[in-house]
Structure 1
Amino acid sequence: MAIQIYILGKLMQDNNYPYKLKKELSEPIPFDQLGGVTESKLYYHFESLVKQGLIEPVEIIKEEHRPDKQVFAITDKGREALPQKIYQLFGNADTISGMVIALANIEYVDREKVIELLYQKLARIKEHWAHIKDLEIKVQLSEEKEHLVKYLGEYFSSKKEHTTYWLEELIKRIERNEI
């Protein structure tokens, strides 16, 4: 999904071809390696987007002693689908790092709707944590399990605080149009 959003977002700016996008992903920071994006994955997603009718080939660039380059453009259907894919990524991502591609393409969606999705996610995290804290009070533990449960409780509490802080910070920055 994120790779398709990346491709559609790039094609919203200008027609492009897979090899060029792969190269852009790798320079100057190797985002392709960090995200595990191989050339074959990129080509696979281009083909998938063509099959969905979201992009279409518009030109073939022929260069001497080089492979032909098939240039693609986003379709009207692709322009309509991009915001939905972005909202879906915001809704499904478990971490902020999972939202990076959606954040990089936030210009193609309604910011208020993104903020609403993030507030819903924040509420679910807090609700889930309250449920876990409730269970902790109700469970009777043997002495040997107390230390493990205490350790795990501290770990998950710290993780929840970290996630909550950065999600709240993200919401604030989107509200202030900093992102």
Structure 2
Amino acid sequence: MSLSLFILGSLANENSSPYQLKKALLDVIPIKISEGKFYYNFEALQKKGLIEPVETIQIVNRPNKTLYGITEKGRHFLEKEIYNSFKKVTKIEDLYISIYLLKYIDPVKAAFYLEETIKKEKNRWDEFKKAKVRMDILDEMQQRAVRFISEHAFSQSEHNIHWMEKLLTFIKRIKE
């Protein structure tokens, strides 16, 4: 969904061609994306009525270039999905595009959703920490493996929560 959000957010800012949007994405956000995946998302947005062609530019000895714009339905969808991303996040990387598009939403509302998500994520990991693994049914190698996996998982969760809290501070400062 984040790729679709980027396309919608970019078109909410100005009309553009698919090629220009893909180039802008790669210039701004550090992700890898295949051309097929990008154009698939673009076409899916058009089929859903969230974007539409708004102008065709004819250039001599070149193929026509179609510029697209976001529809009113697309603007509502964009806002709703940015908020949803703050409600559902577990890894900060999943929010990169939503963070980039913060100008399209109310930061106070986004901060509220993110605070709720952080609480849920902390509770979820606290429950995992309380869960008892039946180590007595595992051999020594499996026990070491379980300890390693658990250490990594808890470390990753703490790291993600730390960055979600930093993001929360960042969002709260937007209105200051």
Match of 1:97 among 93, 97, 101: 93
Unaligned runs of 5+ in 2: none
1:149 and 2:146 aligned: yes
Which amino acid in the other structure matches residue 148 of structure 1?
A: A
Q: What SS class does the counterpart of residue 67 from structure 2 fall into?
A: strand
Q: CA deviation at 1:30?
A: 7.8
Provide the alpha-carbon RMSD of the alignment. Answer: 2.2
Matched with 1:19 is 19
Percent of residue pairs identical:
34
Alignment of 1:19-98 (within 5 A): 19-27=19-27, 31=30, 34-38=31-35, 40-98=36-94
Q: 1:48 Cα shift? A: 1.9
> How much does 1:98 deviate?
0.9
Gaps (5+ residues) in structure 1? none
TM-score (norm 2): 0.85
| Cα separation, 2, equivalents of 1:97 and 1:43 | 22
Q: Does the alignment pair 1:113 with 2:116?
A: no
Under a length normalisation based on structure 1, what TM-score does the superposition of the two structures give? 0.84
Letter in 2 for 1:20: Q
Q: Deviations over 1:40-66 (max 9, x none)?
A: 333322322222222211111111222
Cα distance in 1 between the residues matched to 2:159 and 2:33: 25
Q: What CA distance in whole angstroms lies between the structure 1 residues aligned with 2:62 and 2:56?
A: 12
Count of residues in correspondence between the two structures: 173
1:163 aligned to 2:160? Answer: yes
Aligned equivalents of 1:30 and 1:77: distance in 2?
A: 26
What amino acid sits opposite 1:93 in the alignment? V
The alignment partner of 1:176 has SS state of: helix
**Do the aligned residues in 1 keep the contact of 2:51 with 2:74 (CA within 8 Å)?**
yes
Which residue number in structure 2 is paired with residue 5 of structure 1? 5
Secondary structure at 1:59 match in 2: strand
